[in-house]
Amino acid sequence: MAEKDLDYYLNLNWTLIEGIDTDFEGNPYHYIEIKEIPSFLFCAKTRERAREKYKQQLKWTLQVMLEEGEHIPEPGEEDEEPDWESLCP
């Protein structure tokens, strides 16, 4: 199996979470989060701009994760949630 590289990860069908919030001055902005990468957040003034530009930040985020040898959870991968019932008496 070929090593999963940056292009592989960039082309996955990530679960985008889009929303609108307001900054400290009450101005609205649009954000995009990626469910599988909790540390990822991209903000822009418009929804179109957020959708157009978030992939560049995703690329940088993935590059760092690959360089650091971090596990990159893929869309559809089961969450490795511990079985709390068996861990906590």
If pLDDT is split at 50, 70 and 90, which confidence band does 82 have?
A: low
Q: What is the pLDDT of residue 9?
A: 97
> In CATH, which of 3.40.50, 3.30.160, 3.30.70, 2.60.40 is domain 6-74?
3.30.160
Domain coordinates of the chain in residue numbers?
6-74
Query: Is 74's pLDDT higher than 80?
Result: yes
Say what the pTM is. Answer: 0.78
Which of 8, 39, 45 shows the shortest CA–CA distance to 53? Answer: 45
What is the Cα–Cα distance from 42 to 38, expressed in whole angstroms?
12
Q: What is the pLDDT of residue 81?
A: 62
Tell me: the pLDDT tens digits for 26-40?
Answer: 999 999 999 999 999
